Amino acid sequence: MSDEGPPPLYRRKYLLNARFQLKYTLVFILLSSIVAGVLGARLYGTVRENSQLIAMDDTEANDAIQSQLKEQDRKVLYEIFAWLAGMVVLISAMGVFLTHKIAGPALVLTRNLNELAQGKIPKLRPLRKNDELIDLFEALHAAVTRIEKEVREEAALFEKAAESAPADVKSELSTMAERLKKYYA
């Protein structure tokens, strides 16, 4: 097995494991929304309280001042909601992007392990530069490399033994060598 292999793949699909990625993105959104909601409510309460204090004056301009303060309070409330919505969109995108760095390698590792379970030696491709789970992938790579080396050596031993074996054993040894070659072919 060559250590070089094909160049890293760049994917355009970011939801590789939607259940995993959306679950953690939702957790990020909920936690940040709670914090932002509490802070936004406190900010709006303070602004509204200040407006009510200013409006307590019984002057002739009271109606105009109260109207302006209500408009300002409404603007503050809309701005809080706009920032909260923007934060949710940004955290959603970042959540999917960040979990993609885990879901992608997990998908590759799962495929490789499934190939091993089917009795095939997988062709491992390198992970992307910024992916997570690289240590796990390197451990799998080391195991697969060792298995492949041993299977190739055993196939070569069977082939060599078949060359000098008596005719009645020769075909059986050749069959064993061919069977081992199927694992890495």
pLDDT in tens, 104-138: 899 999 999 999 999 889 999 889 888 999 999 99
Residue of 55 and 32 predicted with greater confidence: 32
Give the pLDDT band of residue 1 (cuts 50, 70, 90). Answer: very low
* Tally of domains within the chain: 1
Q: Give the number of other CB atoms < 10 A from CB of residue 146.
A: 11
pTM as predicted: 0.62
Is 50 part of a structural domain of the chain? yes
Q: What sign does the dihedral 93-97-99-100 (CA atoms) show? A: positive
Domain extent for 64: 14-105
Rounded distance between C-alpha atoms, residue 133 and residue 99, angstroms: 12
Give the residue from 145, 159, 154, 182 showing the smallest Cα distance to 2.
Answer: 145
String of b and e for 34-54 (b: at least 16 CB within 10 Å)? eebeeebeeebeebbeebeee
Is 7 part of a structural domain of the chain? no
Is 177 part of a structural domain of the chain? no
Q: What is the mean pLDDT of residues 40-63?
A: 76
Is 147 part of a structural domain of the chain? no
Rounded distance between C-alpha atoms, residue 105 and residue 185, angstroms: 24
Is 20 part of a structural domain of the chain? yes
Q: Among the listed ranges 7-11, 29-33, 137-141, 142-146, which one has the minimum average pLDDT value?
A: 7-11
Is 95 part of a structural domain of the chain? yes
Q: Is 13 helix (H, G, I), strand (E, B) or coil?
A: coil
Is 125 part of a structural domain of the chain? no
Is 171 part of a structural domain of the chain? no
Give the pLDDT band of residue 61 (cuts 50, 70, 90). Answer: low
pLDDT attached to residue 73:
87
Q: What is the mean pLDDT of residues 161-172?
A: 87
Evaluate whether 1 touches 148 at the Cβ level (below 8 Å).
Answer: yes
**Count H helices, E strands: the chain?**
4, 0
